[in-house]
Chain A
Amino acid sequence: MPESMMQPDLQDVATLNGVQAAALARWQERGWPGAEDEAWRFTRLASLDKLSLRPADANLANGTGNLSAHALPAGAHVIRFHNGMLVANSLENMPTGISARLVDEDDLGAIVDLAPANHPVTDLSVAAMTSGLALDAVAGATVTTPIILMFTGNSGSVSTHPVVLLRVAKGAQAVIAEWHSASVGLSAPVMAIDIADNARLDYAKIQQDSATTTHLAATGIKMGEAAVLDGFQLSIGGCLARLEAHVMLAAESADCRLSAIYLGRRNQHHDITTNMTHARGHCQSNQVIRGVLDGAARGVFQGKVHVAQDAQKTDGQQMSRALLLSRKAEADAKPELEIYADDVICAHGATVGELDETQLFYLTSRGISPEVARAMLIAAFLDDAVDMIENADLSALLRPHVTAWMLAQEGSVNA
């Protein structure tokens, strides 16, 4: 086992076999990314050195955690994970057209195929899986009831490794949100998503873990022919968070929108890393990333768009903008285009800026307080991204978090 930090105690899971044993072997071989790992250049895990964590077990499944005060969409079906453990009775009464059950060995194989490969979170969380859930939207079903995967937790000494397989079969439609509101040592969810031909997934992730939680997510998405993903990630909580999503556009005419907002203050560190692979032609991808950083927060956006030689007529767009509210805040962006086809439209850009003094003066000269003026300009800045969400329930779920963040006091707004 390499010498690396934050090494969860894996004694209990060391007797695995099959897919999990293979994942454990890979994890033990590589461990956490080291200082030389380019993919983790902006997000170092060294500060977590001192944590000694153990994967959560069934003893911690009791208790239900607190549901956040923010309203859930009317009629939403909530599937609960507490300290990484699935709350079994939340699988009862699933909406028609979608089934939920615990993963089996075949599912685990599918998860490893879909999730980011050679990735420490994929390998560790599959090996140390606290609960595994398989969700299947059956072919042709249109499930408009939002399904909320609610992750709570209250044990700072554990790591949580929920693993979810989500398959939207041919022609099916589903609306799924991941809502992380846990206080644990490490939250390391794996999401493996397969959107089959002509299927559509509306997906949102809200990362709102406690200020002491490290959140490292590995999300893998595969899209079939003419499949649609309308996806959004909001990273707002945690002390250190990396939301890494890899998308494989595996057949023609798939349409992927995967936008994100990160909001940081104090010493928070948010990392949005995406890997968009256009393997076939005539696909579109569009990513609108907005970050707002206050205090001494740091934001990272790494976005790779890979266009394979066969992927003619690709339209790949990516735009990242960060707004710094404090002189101690810092934003890094690493957009990368790797294009091997010749007939493509691809654009990417990254900017880092501050609030415009002239705009602020215009607002305050009308009697609007500087605090409200700032909030108005920040909201305007973020709207480009928030407006990307097409599903009204997911939009309504997400917007209050953005508003609440702006209204929360920050001692160092002007620092």
Chain B
Amino acid sequence: MTPLLEIKDLHASVGDTPILKGINLTINHGEIHAIMGPNGSGKSTMSYVLSGRDGYEVTGGDVLMNGQSILEMEADERARAGMFLAFQYPVELPGVAGMSFLRAAVNARRLDKGEDEIDQLEFVKMVRAKAKDLSIDDEMLKRAVNVGFSGGEKKRYEILQMALLEPQLAVLDETDSGLDVDALKIVSEGVNMLRDANRSMLVITHYQRLLNHIVPDYVHILANGKIRRSGGKELALEVEESGYAGIDDAA
């Protein structure tokens, strides 16, 4: 079966600075891969390159989703094709009502698939049900997108969007950062509920802690723009113990 995602010798720059320096990674359907690495190693850059953010220029290599290169696709096209990025720093949208935002996102995907726009009542019901699983109350749903949300609320709201959009590939960028133990549990449970044979995830984290809750199939260590080591979930524990020092040379 064609892998869901194939990253082949991917090089990318921001401005004139090369950040990603030859990444190779294959993710099959249903697999969870963790990317760990020190700050500044290029984890967020990789998430932006995958999701198609402007200003992140691919200078070499390719990214295939279901066997097709996605590099020529815009961010919104990739999203409708099943890509989802949970942001490390979710963006506040003052004046944009949460429910209209969620509905616009869901409808964009439905229209793309030739389906009708979702029924308003049905939609509200669906959002409420999924929000409840993530301990997101109605009051939070009524606010402008991410405005006045705490760090933990923002992360839960990202997972709510993922639950509504049902992506094939979810890239979770440091979804654990800024979360206390309880919030981490809620978010991880939310993510685990979305584990599915047809859904793959790329879980980016700085700390091993998250991977106790979202147990990955594979762990990769990214340092200085390149994957330096790959292994099973034990690799995360090993790195936790020995730290990232010296990992650059281990490739």
29 contacts between A and B (CB under 8 A): A357-B54, A359-B91, A359-B93, A361-B53, A361-B91, A363-B93, A365-B51, A365-B75, A365-B76, A365-B79, A365-B84, A365-B85, A365-B87, A366-B76, A366-B101, A366-B105, A366-B165, A367-B76, A367-B109, A369-B76, A370-B74, A372-B108, A376-B100, A376-B101, A376-B104, A377-B96, A380-B94, A380-B95, A381-B95
- Interface residues in A334-362 (C-beta closer than 8 Å to B): 357-359, 361-362
Chain B 43-62 near chain A by CB (<8 Å), digits 1 or 0: 00000000111110000000
Chain B neighbourhood of A362, CB < 8 A: 87, 90-91, 93
Chain A neighbourhood of B74, CB < 8 A: 364, 370
- Interface residues in A366-415 (C-beta closer than 8 Å to B): 366-370, 372-373, 376-377, 379-381, 383-384
Chain B neighbourhood of A368, CB < 8 A: 76, 104-105, 108
Of listed A362, A370, A372, residue having the most chain B CB within 10 A: A362
**Contact assessment for B105 and A376 in the assembled complex, using a CB-CB cutoff below 8 Å:** no
Residue of A nearest to B109 (CB): A367
Q: In the complex, what's the smallest C-beta–C-beta distance from A383 to chain B, in angstroms?
A: 5
- Counting CB contacts under 8 A, is B88 at the interface? no
Decide: A367 near B80, CB < 8 A? Known: A357-B54, A372-B104. Answer: yes
Chain B neighbourhood of A384, CB < 8 A: 95
**Contact assessment for A367 and B165 in the assembled complex, using a CB-CB cutoff below 8 Å:** yes
- Counting CB contacts under 8 A, is B205 at the interface? no
Chain B neighbourhood of A364, CB < 8 A: 74-76, 79
**Contact assessment for B93 and A367 in the assembled complex, using a CB-CB cutoff below 8 Å:** no
Q: Given the complex of chains A and B, what is the CA–CA distance between A377 and B52 in angstroms?
A: 20
Q: Given the complex of chains A and B, what is the CA–CA distance between A178 and B177 in angstroms?
A: 54
Decide: A358 near B91, CB < 8 A? Known: A365-B51, A367-B165. Answer: yes
**Contact assessment for B79 and A367 in the assembled complex, using a CB-CB cutoff below 8 Å:** yes
Of listed A370, A373, A380, residue having the most chain B CB within 10 A: A380
Q: Given the complex of chains A and B, what is the CA–CA distance between A84 and B105 in angstroms?
A: 47
Q: Given the complex of chains A and B, what is the CA–CA distance between A357 and B48 in angstroms?
A: 13
Q: Given the complex of chains A and B, what is the CA–CA distance between A376 and B102 in angstroms?
A: 12
Decide: A383 near B95, CB < 8 A? Known: A357-B54, A365-B79, A367-B79. Answer: yes
Chain B 165-205 near chain A by CB (<8 Å), digits 1 or 0: 10000000000000000000000000000000000000000
Determine the main DSSP class of A at the interface with B. Answer: helix
Q: Given the complex of chains A and B, what is the CA–CA distance between A362 and B76 in angstroms?
A: 10
Chain B neighbourhood of A361, CB < 8 A: 53-54, 75, 91
Q: In the complex, what's the smallest C-beta–C-beta distance from B70 to chain A, in angstroms?
A: 13
Q: In the complex, what's the smallest C-beta–C-beta distance from A241 to chain B, in angstroms?
A: 26
Chain A interface size, as a band, is: 20 to 34
**Contact assessment for B91 and A376 in the assembled complex, using a CB-CB cutoff below 8 Å:** no
Chain A 47-91 near chain B by CB (<8 Å), digits 1 or 0: 000000000000000000000000000000000000000000000
Chain A neighbourhood of B144, CB < 8 A: 380
Of listed A362, A365, A377, residue having the most chain B CB within 10 A: A365
Chain B neighbourhood of A379, CB < 8 A: 95
Q: Given the complex of chains A and B, what is the CA–CA distance between A363 and B104 in angstroms?
A: 9
Q: In the complex, what's the smallest C-beta–C-beta distance from B202 to chain A, in angstroms?
A: 15
Q: Given the complex of chains A and B, what is the CA–CA distance between A363 and B165 in angstroms?
A: 13
Of listed B55, B96, B109, residue having the most chain A CB within 10 A: B96
Chain B neighbourhood of A377, CB < 8 A: 93, 96
Additional A-B contact list (14), CB under 8 Å, known A357-B55, A366-B165, A368-B108: A361-B91, A362-B87, A363-B93, A363-B101, A364-B76, A365-B75, A365-B85, A366-B76, A367-B112, A372-B108, A380-B95, A380-B96, A380-B144, A383-B95
**Contact assessment for B54 and A367 in the assembled complex, using a CB-CB cutoff below 8 Å:** no
Chain A neighbourhood of B75, CB < 8 A: 361, 364-365
Chain B neighbourhood of A380, CB < 8 A: 93-96, 144
Q: Given the complex of chains A and B, what is the CA–CA distance between A359 and B79 in angstroms?
A: 15
Q: In the complex, what's the smallest C-beta–C-beta distance from B151 to chain A, in angstroms?
A: 16
Residue of A nearest to B77 (CB): A367
Q: In the complex, what's the smallest C-beta–C-beta distance from A378 to chain B, in angstroms?
A: 10
Q: Given the complex of chains A and B, what is the CA–CA distance between A368 and B76 in angstroms?
A: 6
Q: Given the complex of chains A and B, what is the CA–CA distance between A275 and B27 in angstroms?
A: 64
**Contact assessment for A366 and B95 in the assembled complex, using a CB-CB cutoff below 8 Å:** no
